[in-house]
Amino acid sequence: MTWGDTRRWASGIGAWFAGRPLVLDALLAALLFLVTLGPGQVVQGGPGIVVLQTALVLPLVWRRRAPLAVFGVIAAAAFVQWLTGVQLPADAALLVALYTLGAHSTWRRMLTAGAVLGIGILMASARWAPEGLFPLTAVASVAMAAAAALMGTAMADRRAYVASLERDRDQRARLAVAEERAHMAREMHDIVTHNLSVMVALADSAIYVLPGSPDRAAAAVEQISGTGRQALAEMRRSLGVLRPGEPGAPRHPMPGVAQLPALVDRMRAAGLPTRLEVAGDPTPVPAAAQLTVYRLAQEALTNALKHTSPGTTAEVRVHISAEAVAVEVTDDGRAARAAVGSPGQGIIGMHERVAVFGGTLRAGPVSVGGWRVSARLDLDPGRAREGAA
């Protein structure tokens, strides 16, 4: 048998006993009974001594289930032992019971039991200590009792500490799940809302032009198909983030600044004339920041498409520097929007995305008419972390 096999075997035995504490305590009681038999003194003392030995040790089988009751039974047996003048090594069971109280009960119960044991130690020392050694015997016995109590309380503290670590771990896991769910909710909202809005606008356009211009209607239907495929691709990409084994994920990278022209083209085809202006090199910008820029523009343009009347135009301006990325989306629509003080899920999602980069976002009406969404993403990792915190 190799060392690894031995370790696995020992680990399996330990796990088996850990799930059966009553069996483990029964073995402890049996071992203590055998060890404290002495050189025949218990057996030679007659049935009464054997019964007393058993009464001192047997309650340890239930020490974890009822630690205070077990200590009381053992203390009563020890008092009977003192009354009969029989000195037995099985008195060590009192230390085990006191340790158990410290490990599995309250401080008050443990202190009460400790006081009872202290009185018993003084009585036993006065009766059985060698002549002239009463103080030394009493102090040594009290020290052993205190050590047992302290070891028990230390075990209780350790158990409480491990439990707190497990609770903290579970809480972090729940927070991670909640954060991932919020992330997926933002992604699904942006993907579904945008692409469905574009597809509905294209479908309305196709129905409108179908009688007089079948070719334009066919082009609109083709654009609907392309938008649907785009939505499916983005959803596969989002699922690929959660499932790295998703086969389509590598073929559908996250959208970024480079995909803004295609986004603008789709908005134009859906009936929202849109102009795009990008200043600066997007290559050094992290993929996550580029995705945020894309989603901000996508959400703002989708809102303009949904909430403004025909004839509205929009403009997307992106300015990239070494320190930050600034995004501004404006439209000249006159239709009413949701109040800034009660934002919808789209605005909330934009704020959450920008907050990851320690940036700021403003969304509201323009004095001359229309709506503006402006955001700044900080590309300094240290400042971004501070803002996210």
Instruction: From 100, 128, 156, give the residue that closes a domain.
Output: 128
Q: Give the pLDDT confidence of 33-67 residue by residue, as tens digits.
A: 888 876 555 656 677 888 888 999 999 999 998 99
Lowest mean pLDDT among 57-66, 133-142, 177-186, 269-278: 177-186
Instruction: From 128, 153, 170, give the residue that closes a domain.
Output: 128
Predicted confidence at residue 336, as pLDDT, reads: 47
Where does 317-380 have alpha helices with state H?
A: 345-356
Q: Look at the block and give the residue holding tokens 């059966």.
A: 20
Q: 159 in a domain, yes or no?
A: no
Bigger pLDDT: 302 vs 233: 302
Instruction: From 93, 128, 163, give the residue that closes a domain.
Output: 128
How many domains does the chain fold into? Answer: 2
Q: 387 in a domain, yes or no?
A: yes
Between the alpha carbon of residue 170 and those of residues 164, 165, 174, the distances in Å are: 10, 9, 6
Helix axis angle for 92-104 and 134-209, nearest 10°, is 30
Q: 325 in a domain, yes or no?
A: yes
Q: 197 in a domain, yes or no?
A: no
Bigger pLDDT: 3 vs 324: 324
**116: Cβ–Cβ under 8 A, 6 or more apart, which residues?**
75
The number of C-alpha atoms within 13 Å of 125 and in the hemisphere containing its C-beta is 17
- Kindly state the average pLDDT of the residues 247-268: 76
Predicted confidence at residue 252, as pLDDT, reads: 52
Indicate which CATH number applies to the domain containing 368: 3.30.565.10
Q: 157 in a domain, yes or no?
A: no
List the one residue out of 359, 367, 303 whose CA is nearest residue 327.
Answer: 359
Average confidence score pLDDT of the chain: 81
Residue 376: strand pairing partners: 326, 360
Residue 240 has pLDDT above 70, yes or no: no
Residue 385 has pLDDT above 50, yes or no: no
Q: 73 in a domain, yes or no?
A: yes
Q: 191 in a domain, yes or no?
A: no
Q: Are 223 and 266 in contact (CB under 8 A)?
A: yes
N-terminal to C-terminal alpha carbon distance within the chain = 53
What is the residue range of 28's domain? 3-128
Say how far apart CA 318 and CA 46 lie, in whole Å.
98
Bigger pLDDT: 103 vs 336: 103
Q: 11 in a domain, yes or no?
A: yes
| Percentage of the chain exceeding pLDDT 90 | 31
Residue 294 has pLDDT above 80, yes or no: yes
